[in-house]
Amino acid sequence: MTETLELPYKLRISARARRVQIRVRPYVGLEVVVPKRFPRGQIGRILQQHQAWITAQLDRHAASFEPTPLPDQLSLALTDECFDIEFDYGGKPAITRSEQCLRVTLPEPQSDTRQATGLLRGWIRRRAHEVLCPRLSELAQAFGMDYRKCSIRTQKSRWGSCSSNGTISLNDQLLFMPADTVDYLLTHELCHTRHMNHSAAFWRLVQTHAPDFRQHESVLDRGRAKVPEWFLRDLYAS
């Protein structure tokens, strides 16, 4: 972290950048992206020129910079599951499930919560694989569609995607979405195995299998609000 104008910022050097970019990101704060070989001494002057905008954006996202406590419960809308979360200390990092409880073991209590949230995110990804991939297979068989494989990822923006080789990637945060909306998203990606675009033909196919697709698109547009704050903080700050 570098100090300027009494505001900390994160400096990132990008080979692809053509000019200096100033960003204020939720959970992260002020970030400055500069091209390679950009004179570092000019950064302070540039930030001073945009000080009013930077201050306004930092104020706008101030709540996201506050510490988020570790969760004591995890609710998954897709599977209608709710788990109590308990933390143990003095052992190897691990997470285990016992009926409706997730027990997170850490070497010792830490003020930095990233290790604990990392374990929880890993468990969520594994649970997503257990739930989403079989459901995708069921829908593909029902629709008479085919795909190469199902991949589960933790993504910041996309809920899902379909590659040209037929690999369908699904966001593990779909576990926090309603089941009917998740079915729509899987249907949407399966339709991309027929049409690798968003053409009129693609949307006609979507509507054949999901007549209420517009309603589910709206739910997905607002979907990040359903993802726990601790998960988003750990994701965007990484």
Distance CA 184, CA 182 (A): 5
- CB-CB contact of 48 with 5 (8 Å): yes
- CB-CB contact of 43 with 32 (8 Å): yes
Give domain limits for the chain: 2-65, 73-237
Distance CA 238, CA 229 (A): 14
- Angle formed by the axes of helices 114-143 and 229-237, nearest 10°: 100
Distance CA 57, CA 71 (A): 28
Closest CA to 166 of 189, 184, 188: 189
Out of 3.40.50.2300, 3.30.2010.10, 1.10.730.10, 3.40.47.10, select the CATH number for domain 73-237.
3.30.2010.10
Distance CA 187, CA 170 (A): 12
In this structure, the strands spanning 7-14 and 21-25 are unpaired
pLDDT in tens, the chain (238 residues): 444 456 788 899 998 888 999 999 888 889 999 999 899 889 988 999 999 999 999 999 888 887 778 899 999 999 999 999 999 999 999 999 988 999 999 998 876 688 899 999 999 999 999 999 999 999 999 999 999 999 999 998 899 999 999 999 999 999 999 999 999 999 999 999 999 999 999 999 999 999 999 999 999 999 999 999 899 887 877 6
| pLDDT number for residue 99 | 86
In this structure, the strands spanning 149-153 and 101-106 are unpaired
CA distances to 26, 99, 116, 130, 180 from 69, rounded to whole Å, are 17, 24, 11, 28, 31
Tokens 């297979």: give the residue. 137
